[in-house]
Structure 1
């Protein structure tokens, strides 16, 4: 998708009638409104692309990038001089943690941008087909942003319109997290029903599809604890994608938006300028010890895989060598560095690689379907088929009914398989919460480190304090224990 996303996003937000960054503050920033600013399909599409742009900030910016990883058994900070890193790893963070605030704001900026499209006036001069497509894409995006919020913070305020009445600017948190999940699933069902299975024009590659919406529905329903509904959505995806035989192809920029294994990707592109359109993944996840991500250098070295993660692989597992470097350019990597975020062309340029962030891929769908079937105690054998499709690519022996695994034992196998297949892809925290294994795995990975996870910390982060302070309707309504 042709983007220049940051430039478009900034321009678009300047013409928005209110700023999201101030939590829907009532102060008008401009007399321009969607009704008098957007007159053509191109105008509205630029506004939609601005909503897509917010995915970059939510999933790949410098601070939120680690929120699904730190405090788990698979990723740890190596730079312990930064208190923000240490607090997340050791569970000493508070509601004032800056990473949480950034993530929270980015999500609501995304909600605001998506709502402007959802609220597209009836009399706008674009075709009904274009309008329906844009609204479906916007609702897909809004579903992502609210899913990010719900699984991070639990109950959150819900705004579903860009035109916020003064009485709704200070809005309380939802009465239950179910209320947020209901909105998310409504949005994603709408998207699944109104989006194409794929986009035919090359310039449209990277936009949301019905497959992406159904795959995300599966993820949402699993996290919500509704396995039957998850399976129903995932079944609409299974059989329509494949697994690359070469693991590097999953992340290689040469295979961007190929829709072979990768179902939905957050778009990034090397631009030649630090901090514009290139991804930071290579810089932040890259090998350490070579002077940082300058020309000829390595990664920043601030965080990466744990030794526990690397050691947990069977030596016959292809992923142990395909996913990790134990040495890079003569420098030993201990713990090993991940190979997933390697851009052979631009990887040693500061925060300007060409890597997309793979938000959803087929291996994840197969493992989620296996999980849902196991939760339902299904006896068809399909849970083994889906699990073994992933294991076979890794060169591992199949697990079959003859192994006699109980539902609980199969669940343990599946959780480990998710670790080995999806490591460092921003899933682990939510997997461990869903499987109720967060504290157990953290203690296993860091024995004797004195990490104490409070009962409140096993499910959600605190609502950022600055958000509560800025919203009179939220005063005193913090997640328990924070």
Structure 2
């Protein structure tokens, strides 16, 4: 993975390199940068702050592949960490994606910054800027804790800088509620010192008031969800002194708290769902709206993101061969989750769905299926065509005819670059390479047609960490749980569906309106589709205690390993739904294990249940 992470050292060479980098929010500070030299100038102090942002982890396959750990995708290389996780080969000794040290180092750096920023001479840095930077540091501290809570649950609450020779055997875990309250406190403090919007593009990538409130909303949703709201399996989850670490009594009022927290973000009026009309379009286009929201810098839907991220690694991993690695493969599970273009699920008798034979005509819209593609892919919703690469669909990150032809076998060269996932195809199982496609699908979401993955040419753009659609889905999920008849459930859910080119839920499934259980089903389905491949599915199934369900551990793909006998695109056997993997599950996996290394360092820590 190509990453521009600069290991900072004391000295003029370091400062020059750091200050000249255009990607200044993507680096990490060295632990030695605590001398007064750093706080003697504005430039040095700002560099220290900017580089704390480097502890934010992305979910692009290089840092953490949560999408490969849920039912929406799989990783094609068997030995990768995420493939080991889903077959049960992980433990405190080999604790994959162990970001405990990373986040606590970021937390420590934020304390150092906040304790020293006032040393910068007033002639170089105003009081207002110092206060703004302190607010940013508090946001980052809260963000790191929020990420720790998502992975590990209750963690150690550190409220000041610890010395390097401190006794680390005296720091037990705080309770879940204590951790939650601390993050909320940090976000409230940060929000009071941050603007609703940044007036200049040079500040994009910094948090805003809305980002602080969005973190609070997401944390409230986690707190209200079954994992942390009366989960009986956590009854014995206690510190060594017997202090309970998890709330084991269900509180329905937490759903209202979560809904109210999300509504605060909505009522800011700072965000809206992106459409192609915001990008110069003259007529609403649902396909371009759901595709280009990830490709349009600093659009109205972005609440918090990394600044100017190089998508080479992500695009290379999700793109088909021979130009891409085809490493992250979408599953039949997620393909089946997308709606038809009439807004109905594929198992609805009124949907018009068929999984047999080839389409005899092109779809009605330019983004839809083409004649000769399998009917399974006909007349699906716009998000399906924007987010799923299937057999016979032209490759996206190939801007020229020559680039497109590179993906085609000699008999298929026609200037379109139709992807060949059948066995003998260029992206098929027989092709050479360690990461050939294993499900018959790749990921198209967040892939730009302006990129050329064959030439390893990708553009920088923001890496979105929170967007407005998430908050809308958070809101309707929580609101439905405590007030299912509230008209806002339909109102805000329909905003998502309308942008996706679908009719309202009350039109297609009127029986769901006011029916908590049925509406929950459609809200979670909408979340699965709208937020696919954004690392939400894994954590949604975790907080809902659904990841261990058999249907979410039974992974399907296409029949990619049967020889097409030279039939190529005409081979119908490819489209047989095939069991790809029956994953291994244990309920202890709802939380990540704390690594044995951390337990040995801090004898006051208790391990997560079951590990």
TM range (shorter): 0.7 to 0.9
Alignment of structure 1 residues 225-264 onto 2, 5 Å: 225=224, 226-238=254-266, 239-245=269-275, 246-252=289-295, 255-258=296-299, 260-264=300-304
1:308 and 2:333 aligned: yes
Match of 1:47 in 2: 48
Give the direction of change, closer, same or farther, for the CA distance of 1:174–1:193 in structure 2 (3 Å limit).
Answer: same
Match of 1:22 in 2: none
Match of 2:440 in 1: 335
Q: TM-score, normalising length from structure 2?
A: 0.66
1:422 and 2:531 aligned: yes
Which of the numbers 452, 457, 477 marks the counterpart of 2:584?
452
Once the 2 structures are TM-superposed, how far is the Cα of residue 345 of structure 1 from its aligned partner? Answer: 4.0
Once the 2 structures are TM-superposed, how far is the Cα of residue 171 of structure 1 from its aligned partner? Answer: 4.7
Preserved CA contact (<8 Å) 1:325 1:338: yes
Preserved CA contact (<8 Å) 1:108 1:145: yes
Match of 1:266 in 2: 306
Once the 2 structures are TM-superposed, how far is the Cα of residue 342 of structure 1 from its aligned partner? Answer: 1.4
1:431 and 2:540 aligned: yes
1:10 and 2:8 aligned: yes
Give the direction of change, closer, same or farther, for the CA distance of 1:481–1:42 in structure 2 (3 Å limit).
Answer: same
Q: TM-score, normalising length from structure 1?
A: 0.83
Once the 2 structures are TM-superposed, how far is the Cα of residue 136 of structure 1 from its aligned partner? Answer: 1.0
Preserved CA contact (<8 Å) 1:370 1:386: yes
Once the 2 structures are TM-superposed, how far is the Cα of residue 380 of structure 1 from its aligned partner? Answer: 2.8
Match of 2:75 in 1: 77
Once the 2 structures are TM-superposed, how far is the Cα of residue 211 of structure 1 from its aligned partner? Answer: 1.0
Preserved CA contact (<8 Å) 2:451 2:457: no
Which of the numbers 316, 319, 325 marks the counterpart of 1:283?
316
Give the direction of change, closer, same or farther, for the CA distance of 1:320–1:435 in structure 2 (3 Å limit).
Answer: same
Alignment of structure 1 residues 48-447 onto 2, 5 Å: 48-55=49-56, 58-60=57-59, 62-66=61-65, 68-80=66-78, 82=79, 84-97=81-94, 99-101=96-98, 103-120=99-116, 122-125=118-121, 126-164=125-163, 166-225=165-224, 226-238=254-266, 239-245=269-275, 246-252=289-295, 255-258=296-299, 260-270=300-310, 280-285=313-318, 287-290=319-322, 297-298=323-324, 300-316=325-341, 317-326=381-390, 327=393, 328=395, 329-333=417-421, 334-348=439-453, 350=456, 353-400=459-506, 402-405=510-513, 406-440=515-549, 441-443=551-553, 445=555
Once the 2 structures are TM-superposed, how far is the Cα of residue 84 of structure 1 from its aligned partner? Answer: 2.5
Once the 2 structures are TM-superposed, how far is the Cα of residue 231 of structure 1 from its aligned partner? Answer: 2.8
Preserved CA contact (<8 Å) 2:151 2:592: yes
| CA–CA distance in structure 2, aligned partners of residues 352 and 97 of structure 1 | 34
Give the direction of change, closer, same or farther, for the CA distance of 1:352–1:139 in structure 2 (3 Å limit).
Answer: farther
Which consecutive segments of 4 or more residues in structure 1 shift more than 6 A?
12-15
| CA–CA distance in structure 2, aligned partners of residues 347 and 194 of structure 1 | 41
Give the direction of change, closer, same or farther, for the CA distance of 1:12–1:109 in structure 2 (3 Å limit).
Answer: farther
**DSSP-derived class of the 2:389 partner:** strand
Give the direction of change, closer, same or farther, for the CA distance of 1:229–1:43 in structure 2 (3 Å limit).
Answer: farther
Once the 2 structures are TM-superposed, how far is the Cα of residue 453 of structure 1 from its aligned partner? Answer: 1.7
Instruction: Give the stretch that moved more between structures: 114-123 or 342-351.
Output: 342-351
Q: Deviations over 1:457-482 (max 9, x none)?
A: 1x2010122222333443xx211211
| CA–CA distance in structure 2, aligned partners of residues 204 and 119 of structure 1 | 23
Q: Deviations over 1:166-203 (max 9, x none)?
A: 43544534132222222111111212222101111221
Give the direction of change, closer, same or farther, for the CA distance of 1:12–1:189 in structure 2 (3 Å limit).
Answer: farther
Preserved CA contact (<8 Å) 2:302 2:467: yes
Preserved CA contact (<8 Å) 2:554 2:582: no
Q: Flag the structure with higher helix content.
A: 1
Give the direction of change, closer, same or farther, for the CA distance of 1:85–1:121 in structure 2 (3 Å limit).
Answer: closer
Give the direction of change, closer, same or farther, for the CA distance of 1:232–1:190 in structure 2 (3 Å limit).
Answer: farther
**DSSP-derived class of the 2:265 partner:** coil
| CA–CA distance in structure 2, aligned partners of residues 415 and 166 of structure 1 | 48
Preserved CA contact (<8 Å) 1:439 1:453: yes
Preserved CA contact (<8 Å) 1:206 1:266: yes
Once the 2 structures are TM-superposed, how far is the Cα of residue 94 of structure 1 from its aligned partner? Answer: 1.4
**DSSP-derived class of the 1:325 partner:** strand
Match of 2:608 in 1: 479
Give structure 1 stretches of 5+ with no counterpart.
16-27, 271-277, 291-296
Once the 2 structures are TM-superposed, how far is the Cα of residue 223 of structure 1 from its aligned partner? Answer: 0.8
Preserved CA contact (<8 Å) 1:347 1:353: no
| CA–CA distance in structure 1, aligned partners of residues 457 and 161 of structure 2 | 33
Once the 2 structures are TM-superposed, how far is the Cα of residue 60 of structure 1 from its aligned partner? Answer: 4.1
RMSD of aligned C-alpha atoms?
Answer: 2.8
- Highest CA radius of gyration, 1 or 2? 2
* Residue correspondences, number: 439
Q: Deviations over 1:235-282 (max 9, x none)?
A: 232143222231222111xx2223x11111112344xxxxxxx65221
Match of 1:470 in 2: 601
